[in-house]
Homo-oligomer: A and B are copies of this chain.
Amino acid sequence: VTSPRPSILHDVGEDRLVRVLTAGLKQGQDVRVGPGDDCAVIGRDGDKIWCLLKTDCLLEGRHFLPNTPARWVGWKAMARSISDIAAMSGLPRHAMVTLAVDHGRPLQYVRSLYRGMEKAARAFGISIVGGETASSPGPIFLSIAMTGEVEPARCICRNGGRPGDALFVTGRLGGSIRGRHLRFVPRVKESRWLTDHFEIRAMMDLSDGLGADLPRLAVASGTGFELSREKIPTNRGVTIDEAISDGEDYELLFAVSQQDAEHLVSEWARRFSKLSLSRIGVLTEKSRRTKEELPKGYDHFAQPR
């Protein structure tokens, strides 16, 4: 930032940009968790239910292509936000849709987009309570704002991990670009089950790839981590490096105490026989080197210009 030419966003990177922009924002007393976690958490002392707030966007050419079926674009838009609500162990409730689209587009395209969103909304008990459209000459931009709710004792953030906690991921990682990034099912059921039966210490969903997301969880928890590379569950035809860096897995990454870990593995297998659960490593005392070992995940602003 001391360079003679003014900083541009590309030099800053997405994580630092969000930190710079949201640092020092004044938060009301009811804001339990502000910017930086999967969702914001709103609740006053004594409330039986806390409110989760999340906003997320899809951009044509980046998160989907012009020829991607519109229904799947709609599904993906909704499912991404649902996945963030699941990452806090919440239940999604209401969604609002903001769509910027060229006014030369066929009405049918936008209707299909909505049908995809409705399908996801129905599947997860969400009401779409607002829809705004704006005519834009640029690529399609679709933003979803979502509310959710969670019991205070079950609200899991990224920052509760402790050294020694076992690290788990659901499902298999990597290669989502072949289609899973559009058609994934957010892990609401699994996340609710986890907090109903175990003391989950920290959790997040994998959107930018394990290589980008795990360090975020560790930094938030004030820990380091050790990965057992050979334990990382890969999708077919995907290398371990790709599984670490590809992104858009929308699986859960979470930390539980070592003593709970064994019990969790057996209970999980009984409850979710079709979805794998993998113990991929451990949180450690904070160390200086954690990030360099990993192939990096996706950063919007660090992509080639």
| CB proximity of A9 to chain B, nearest CB, Å | 4
* Chain A 78-132 residues near chain B, CB threshold 8 A: 93-94, 96-98, 100-108, 110-111, 114, 118, 121-122, 125, 127-132
Distance of A56 Cα from B305 Cα, bound (Å): 29
Asked if A108 and B7 sit within 8 Å, CB to CB, the answer is: yes
For A7, what are the chain B residues with a Cβ–Cβ distance below 8 Å? 106-108
| CB proximity of A56 to chain B, nearest CB, Å | 6
Asked if B110 and A145 sit within 8 Å, CB to CB, the answer is: no
Asked if B55 and A147 sit within 8 Å, CB to CB, the answer is: no
Tell me the nearest residue of chain B to A147, going by C-beta: B53
For A9, what are the chain B residues with a Cβ–Cβ distance below 8 Å? 101-107, 110, 133, 135
Asked if B57 and A107 sit within 8 Å, CB to CB, the answer is: no
For A18, what are the chain B residues with a Cβ–Cβ distance below 8 Å? 131-133
Asked if A25 and B108 sit within 8 Å, CB to CB, the answer is: no
Distance of A11 Cα from B103 Cα, bound (Å): 9
Tell me the nearest residue of chain B to A135, going by C-beta: B300
Asked if B22 and A133 sit within 8 Å, CB to CB, the answer is: no
Asked if B25 and A134 sit within 8 Å, CB to CB, the answer is: no
Instruction: Known contacts A17-B110, A103-B9, A107-B9; decide if A25 and B128 are in contact (CB<8 Å).
Output: yes
Distance of A100 Cα from B100 Cα, bound (Å): 11
Tell me the nearest residue of chain B to A300, going by C-beta: B135
